């Protein structure tokens, strides 16, 4: 429920789908991956065949699902959507695979979470366009090899390193998505504002972009919150003042830190003099589980260079003190 969470929740999915770019040309940023993909797809189209299987890796909210849909659109085909956790048994995957039409795209989100038997079935299907279906039970059980029409798997993962080599090797193309620059996020925001019919001033776009943690999903979410504020408290225009006021209500600061992030940072600096302090102690100080601090707050604080992890514990960097407007101990007297 954090407004800066990189993950999507169910209630948000429809709002998100409305803002998805439909074609490669509309997809903002990620120039390297975009150009590589364009070549892969257009070459396949020109040959009249299916492209290599595509693996997309990168943090949540950067556009992996969007690209999977775009790949299908560029190929002029339809996409079937499933995910690692949704496939409980290899049989579930066999059923999906054997119902694919020729040339279709099968999008497997969180592919690193596939169970081992399903994973094995998938890489055989990707390599040989064949699936073995077991018919019957016990001693009378029989495996029947079923030939599949050619198709393209688009796998998405936040953890490419967790993918077993045999599966990873079946992908002829891997694209890694990186965090977006502020300028790119502004472009995402202007596009979204257009689709939502929101009058977004340039300085407001910059203000929101700077707080979006390099993530289009967060940028779009903050835009919706600013739009709400402008509607209810303002006169409908999303200018810089509206953006600042709205994001203050949601406690998202200039760097994109929320309340928990700041609580962790403040505890580290003020209670523990900048550390080093152990994760558990730090978590107790902010009234959270160590796991929450470690997985929810820390990654972004580390990425922003606000805290460091050392063998003796967490430490605040000079930037942390600066961000909290505090004088660092031992720093120059001011």
Interface contacts to ligand ADP, rule CB under 6 A: 16, 19-21, 27-30, 60-66, 156, 188, 216-217, 220
Q: Hey, what are 193's tokens? A: 């504002």
Smaller CB separation from ligand ADP, 87 or 188: 188
Question: To the nearest whole angstrom, how small is the minimum distance from the Cβ of residue 189 to ligand ADP?
Answer: 9
Which string of DSSP letters, residue by residue, matches 7-55?
A: S--GGGHHHHHTT---SGGG--S-HHHHHHHHHHHHHHHHHTSPPPPEE
Residue 109 among the catalytic residues: yes
CA separation for the pair 205, 239 (Å, rounded):
8
Smaller CB separation from ligand ADP, 41 or 285: 41
Smaller CB separation from ligand ADP, 12 or 199: 12
> From the annotation, which residues make up the binding site?
19-20, 61, 64-66, 127-129, 170, 180, 217, 309, 314
Question: To the nearest whole angstrom, how small is the minimum distance from the Cβ of residue 96 to ligand ADP?
Answer: 19
Question: CB count, 10 Å around CB of 198?
Answer: 20
CA separation for the pair 259, 246 (Å, rounded):
15
> From the annotation, which residues make up the binding site for ATP?
19-20, 61, 64-66, 127-129, 170, 180, 217
Question: To the nearest whole angstrom, how small is the minimum distance from the Cβ of residue 174 to ligand ADP?
Answer: 15
Catalytic residue among 65, 152, 157, 215: 65
Question: CB count, 10 Å around CB of 179?
Answer: 17
CA separation for the pair 89, 316 (Å, rounded):
46
CB-nearest residue to ligand ADP: 63
Burial class (CB in 10 A: 0-12, 13-18, 19+), 302: middle
Catalytic residue among 34, 113, 168, 217: 217
Residue 158 among the catalytic residues: yes
Residue 64 among the catalytic residues: yes
> From the annotation, which residues make up the binding site for DNA?
309, 314
CA separation for the pair 31, 28 (Å, rounded):
8
Question: To the nearest whole angstrom, how small is the minimum distance from the Cβ of residue 32 to ligand ADP?
Answer: 13
Catalytic residue among 152, 157, 158, 215: 158
Give the residue numbers annotated as catalytic, written as ranges: 64-65, 109, 158, 217
């Amino acid at each position: 429920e954090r407004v800066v969470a990189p993950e999507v929740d169910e209630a948000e999915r429809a709002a998100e789908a409305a803002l998805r770019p439909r074609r490669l040309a509309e997809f903002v940023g990620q120039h390297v991956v975009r150009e590589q993909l364009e070549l892969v797809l257009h070459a396949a189209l020109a040959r009249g065949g299916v492209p290599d299987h595509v693996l997309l890796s990168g943090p949540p909210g950067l556009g992996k699902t969007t690209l999977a849909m775009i790949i299908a659109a560029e190929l002029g085909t339809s996409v079937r959507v499933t995910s690692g956790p949704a496939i409980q048994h290899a049989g579930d995957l066999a059923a999906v695979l054997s119902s694919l039409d020729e040339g279709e795209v099968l999008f497997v989100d969180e592919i690193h979470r596939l169970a081992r038997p399903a994973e094995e079935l998938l890489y055989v299907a990707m390599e040989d366009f064949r699936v073995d279906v077991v018919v019957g039970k016990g001693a009378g059980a029989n495996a029947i090899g079923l030939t599949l029409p050619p198709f393209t798997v688009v796998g998405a993962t936040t953890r490419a390193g967790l993918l077993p080599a045999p599966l990873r090797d079946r992908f002829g193309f891997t694209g890694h998505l990186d965090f977006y620059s502020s300028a790119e996020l502004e472009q995402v925001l202007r596009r979204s504002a257009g689709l939502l019919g929101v009058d977004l001033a340039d300085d407001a776009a910059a203000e929101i972009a700077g707080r979006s943690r390099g993530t289009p999903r967060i940028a779009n979410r903050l835009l919706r919150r600013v739009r709400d504020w402008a509607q209810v408290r303002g006169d409908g225009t999303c200018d810089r003042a509206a953006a600042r006021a709205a994001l203050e209500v949601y406690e998202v600061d200039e760097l994109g830190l929320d309340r928990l992030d700041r609580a962790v940072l403040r505890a580290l600096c003020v209670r523990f003099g900048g550390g080093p302090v152990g994760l558990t102690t730090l978590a107790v100080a902010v009234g959270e589980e160590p796991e929450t601090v470690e997985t929810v707050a820390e990654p972004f604080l580390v990425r922003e260079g606000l805290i460091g992890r050392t063998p003796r514990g967490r430490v605040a960097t000079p930037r942390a003190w600066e961000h909290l407007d505090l004088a660092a101990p031992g720093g120059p007297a001011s």
